[in-house]
């Protein structure tokens, strides 16, 4: 039934033995009443007021959902609020101004603590500076920063003045930055001189400079001096030093601009079916409500907690669960710079131990690495402060799940396996840790109020135990409202496939395939589009292919995912050159270079296989699915329909020789 079984390899479809949450957890959980599912069901969509009521509204909303223009739904449309006020100011008013908002752990052991009061001062001053640079409400500000405190500060400063931010992951290339700034018509950029990567000072500003050269619009740029004397830089025209601006505007305050609930809070580019990245639009009221609600109900965040989502703010996980969700709830959010194995493989456990972290949220790819490194690293630290563990980004199979449960959670912490996407804004499928049984290998049922359905190609729900397409048959507050390029593409990408506009029956299609069990628990199998998930990062194979075919001498390329023990999926590239079969070191190097230039090092293939030609159908379509099977060593089906079936054997022989 499915177009493809994920990345071509068999995902674990078996789940481990179910486990119940420990009674001590249930007792203190934010949500522990199993009746919550019925409550949401019976009272839909008003049930979502529970999420919106976690926020402070300037003007209270009266309407919960307006579905007049479905699938461009509007949530709490007549209310107004400001996201920065919700994440910062209101916590000062509640008498918690000296409470720690952000605890930052730098790459070289530097530490910084921002109280809510410190954060308030910082975002007011920087908001004043942005205004002075000419940023007006609704201007898109691009932020290209690594994991330093100035990143969330810049985001919240934008939110304060109603300027949507467009954060671009710091590891992406100059070209990728330029594409995103161009697509978003962004005339403002916040970046830094550089940052430390693998111990070296890495120049970020030169990437930003190169991106600016490619843009038609003039760009005002703010540069954060992260490296000081380790990487001297000069400021050119229209470039401003972050710290000098802060000094110039020291002590300034800026009233938070009341935004309509449906006003854009931010834009986030993600990979899609075509090579063109999609600018996903998130709103102020619905997104923030959903972020706060899931932080409360799924991650069990309480204001007195020290909460750590070890992701990068450059992707949606960090937006929702390092910045907006936890700060809306007034908790302490930890952010760390660097990698889990520097200075040693116990870095994360040392941070958990020293900060007495209560809640820890990471990706399966990290858990698989911890497992490989060995349990002695966590065992050397006191992890008893932990109460809840989470995972996100890819499927987690029962073995790493159990390892996480045992060696990090000491069999005392529930694990939430949270399925969601850039487009869903916040968690949509997961167990509720204080309510549900956990099944290792299955994310869980849809959250209360979500109508998640696994369907066949006609849109009919499959029987339990079967697999199909993962769809959502009802709107939810955190959902993307549109794509920056317009509603048409939004509708085509997510809605057309399973909706029936004539009967006003709207179904969101996630692009994922999944299996559903008798309890409605969902195991994600993979994607059906040209997206691969490498270490929890979403990459477009089409985008990588076009970087390869841009290299002189390359005739054709096909990029597929190959199952990998550590990364989940690796990038595997088949290339044919103009000279026919030719494993040329210079071309190989140029290909890697081109990919790093177009996208960034995260898209670097682990394997580049040169082949005289690529297998094609009679109509000339490259058989990527077959190549995926070959890369994964799977048995191949009938290849007689190919125009050039002999090539498959040649490729297999080539792989066999490696």
Q: Which residues of the chain form contacts with ligand WT7 (CB under 6 A)? A: 270, 316-317, 392-395, 417-422, 443, 510-512, 524, 527, 533, 538
CB of 425 to ligand WT7, least distance (A): 9
Q: Which residue has the tokens 């752990």?
A: 105
Instruction: Print burial letters for 155-177: b (CB count within 10 Å at least 16), e (below 16).
Output: bbbbbbbbbbbbbbbbbbbbbbb
CB of 511 to ligand WT7, least distance (A): 6
Min CB(137)–ligand WT7 separation in Å: 28
Looking up tokens 């830089």 gives 233
Write phi, then psi, for 188 (nearest 5 degrees): -135, 140
Residues 252 and 230: their CA atoms lie apart, in Å, by 31
310-348 residues labelled b (16+ CB within 10 A) or e (exposed): bbbbbbbbbbbbbbbbbbbbbbbbbbbbbebeeeebbbb
Min dist. Cβ of residue 206 to ligand WT7 (A): 27
Shortest spacing between CB 383 and ligand WT7, in angstroms? 22
**Minimum gap (Å) between residue 278 Cβ and ligand WT7:** 10
Residue 424 CB, nearest distance to ligand WT7 (Å)? 7
Cβ closest to ligand WT7, residue 417 vs residue 629 = 417
Query: Least Å distance between CB 418 and ligand WT7?
Result: 5
Of 330 and 446, CB closest to ligand WT7: 446
* Cβ proximity to ligand WT7, 474 vs 515, nearer residue: 515
State the residue for tokens 């396996």. 417
* CB distance 545 to 598 below 8 Å: no
Closer by beta carbon to ligand WT7, 86 or else 317: 317
Q: In angstroms, what is the minimal distance from the CB of 311 to ligand WT7? A: 8
Contacts of 250 (CB under 8 A, 6+ apart): 125
Provide, rounded to whole angstroms, the least separation between the CB of residue 487 and ligand WT7: 20
With respect to ligand WT7, which residue has the nearer C-beta, 284 or 418?
418
Q: For residues 433 and 298, is the Cβ–Cβ distance under 8 A?
A: yes
Report in angstroms how near the CB of residue 277 gets to ligand WT7 at its nearest. 11
What is the nearest approach in angstroms of ligand WT7 to the Cβ of residue 442?
Answer: 9
Query: By C-beta, is 186 or 430 nearer to ligand WT7?
Result: 430
HEC readout, 374-438: CCHHHHCCCCCCCCEEEEECCCCCHHHHHHHHHHHCCCCCCEEEEECCCCCCCCCECCCCCCCCE
Which three-class secondary structure state does DSSP give residue 230? helix
Task: Tell me the two tokens of residue 202.
Answer: 């890495």
Shorter beta-carbon distance to ligand WT7: residue 346 or 512: 512
Query: Least Å distance between CB 72 and ligand WT7?
Result: 20
Nearer to ligand WT7, 394 or 493 (CB): 394
Report in angstroms how near the CB of residue 419 gets to ligand WT7 at its nearest.
4
DSSP-derived pairing of the beta strands 554-564 and 537-540 = unpaired
Q: Taking the CA atoms of the chain, what radius of gyration do you get in angstroms? A: 24
Pick the closer one to ligand WT7 by CB: 320 or 611. 320
Phi/psi at 340 (nearest 5 deg)?
-70, -10
Q: Look at strands 568-577 and 554-564 and give their pairing.
A: antiparallel
Cα–Cα distance, 595 to 572 (Å, whole number): 13
User: Residue 385 — left, alpha, or beta (φ > 0 → left; ψ -120 to 50 → alpha)?
Assistant: alpha
Helix (H) or strand (E) holding 100: strand 100-105
Instruction: State which residue, 87 or 525, has the beta carbon closest to ligand WT7.
Output: 525
Of residues 345 and 527, the one with the C-beta less far from ligand WT7? 527
Q: How far is the CB of 60 from ligand WT7 (least distance, A)?
A: 30
Q: Which two tokens stand for residue 209?
A: 């400079």
Nearer to ligand WT7, 152 or 561 (CB): 561
d(CA 643, CA 399): 42
Parallel, antiparallel or unpaired: strands 200-203 and 194-197: antiparallel
Distance of alpha carbon 411 from alpha carbon 430, whole angstroms: 19
Nearer to ligand WT7, 124 or 533 (CB): 533
Question: Judged by CB, which is closer to ligand WT7: 423, or 545?
Answer: 423
Closest to ligand WT7 by CB, 92 or 371: 371
Q: At CA 637, angle to CA 631 and CA 643, rounded to 5?
A: 85
Distance CA 3, CA 499 (A): 19
Q: What distance in Å separates the CA atoms of residue 486 and residue 402, rounded to the nearest whole number?
A: 43
Q: Which residue has the tokens 């549900």?
A: 436
CA distance 591 to 605: 9
Measured from the CB atom, the residue of 334 and 415 that comes closer to ligand WT7 is: 415
Could you tell me which of 336, 292, 249, 289 has the C-alpha nearest to residue 52? 289
For the residues of 106-144, what is the DSSP string, one character each?
Answer: -TTS-EEEEEHHHHHHHHHHHHHHHHHTT--TT--EEE-
- Dihedral pair phi/psi, residue 318, rounded to 5°: -70, -35
CB of 41 to ligand WT7, least distance (A): 23
| CA pair distance 639, 239, nearest whole angstrom | 58
């Amino acid at each position: 039934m499915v177009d493809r079984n994920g990345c071509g390899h068999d995902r674990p479809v078996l789940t481990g033995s179910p486990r119940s949450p420990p009674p001590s957890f249930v007792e203190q959980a934010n949500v522990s009443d199993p009746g919550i599912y019925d409550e949401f069901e019976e009272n839909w969509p008003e049930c979502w007021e529970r999420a919106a009521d976690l926020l402070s509204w300037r003007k209270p909303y009266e309407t919960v959902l307006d579905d007049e223009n479905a699938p461009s739904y509007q949530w709490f449309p007549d209310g107004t609020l400001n996201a920065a006020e919700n994440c910062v100011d209101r916590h000062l008013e509640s008498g918690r101004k000296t409470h720690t908002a952000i605890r930052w752990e730098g790459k070289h052991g530097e530490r910084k603590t921002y109280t809510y009061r410190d954060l308030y001062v910082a975002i007011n001053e920087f908001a004043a500076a942005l205004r002075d640079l000419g940023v007006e409400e609704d201007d898109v500000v691009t932020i290209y920063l690594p994991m330093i405190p100035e990143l969330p500060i810049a985001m919240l400063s934008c939110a304060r003045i109603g300027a949507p931010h467009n954060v671009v992951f710091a590891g992406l290339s100059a070209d990728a930055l330029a594409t995103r700034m161009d697509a978003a018509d962004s005339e403002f950029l916040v970046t830094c001189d550089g940052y430390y990567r693998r111990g070296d000072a890495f120049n970020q500003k030169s990437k930003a400079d190169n991106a600016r050269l490619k843009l038609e619009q003039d760009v005002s740029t703010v540069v954060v001096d992260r490296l000081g004397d380790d990487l001297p830089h000069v400021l050119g025209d229209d470039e401003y030093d972050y710290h000098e601006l802060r000094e110039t505007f020291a002590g300034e305050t800026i009233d938070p601009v009341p935004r309509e609930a449906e006003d854009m809070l931010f834009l986030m580019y993600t990979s899609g079916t075509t090579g063109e990245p999609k600018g996903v639009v998130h709103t102020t009221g619905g997104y923030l409500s959903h972020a706060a609600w899931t932080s409360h109900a799924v991650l069990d965040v309480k204001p007195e907690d020290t909460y750590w989502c070890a992701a990068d703010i450059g992707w949606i996980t960090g937006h929702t669960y390092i910045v907006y969700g936890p700060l809306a709830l007034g908790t302490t959010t930890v952010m760390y710079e660097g990698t889990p194995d520097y200075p040693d493989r116990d870095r994360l456990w040392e941070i958990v131990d020293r900060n007495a972290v209560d809640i820890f949220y990471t990706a399966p790819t990290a858990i698989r690495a911890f497992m490989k490194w060995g349990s002695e690293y966590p065992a050397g630290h006191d992890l008893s402060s932990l109460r809840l563990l989470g995972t996100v980004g890819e499927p987690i199979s029962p073995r790493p799940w159990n390892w996480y449960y045992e060696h990090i959670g000491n069999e005392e912490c529930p694990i939430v396996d949270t399925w969601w996407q850039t487009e869903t804004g916040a968690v949509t499928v997961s167990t509720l840790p204080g309510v549900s049984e956990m099944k290792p290998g299955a994310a869980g049922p849809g959250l209360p109020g979500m109508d998640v359905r696994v369907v066949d190609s006609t849109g009919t729900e499959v029987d339990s135990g079967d697999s199909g397409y993962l769809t959502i048959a009802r709107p939810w507050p955190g959902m993307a409202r549109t794509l920056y390029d317009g509603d048409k593409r939004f509708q085509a990408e997510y809605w057309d496939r399973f909706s029936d506009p004539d009967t006003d029956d709207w179904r969101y299609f996630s692009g994922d395939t999944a299996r559903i069990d008798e309890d409605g628990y969902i195991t994600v199998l993979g994607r059906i589009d040209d997206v691969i998930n490498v270490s929890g990062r979403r990459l477009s194979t089409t985008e990588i292919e076009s970087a390869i075919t841009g290299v002189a001498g390359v005739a054709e390329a096909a990029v597929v995912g190959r199952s990998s023990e550590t990364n989940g999926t690796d990038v595997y590239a088949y290339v044919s050159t103009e000279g026919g079969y030719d494993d040329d070191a210079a071309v190989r190097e140029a290909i890697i270079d081109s990919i790093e230039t177009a996208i960034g090092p995260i898209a670097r293939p682990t394997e580049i296989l040169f082949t005289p030609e690529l297998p094609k159908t009679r109509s000339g379509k490259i058989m990527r699915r077959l190549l995926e099977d070959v890369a994964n060593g799977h048995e191949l089906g009938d290849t007689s329909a190919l125009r050039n079936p002999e090539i498959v054997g040649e490729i297999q022989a080539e792989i066999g020789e490696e």
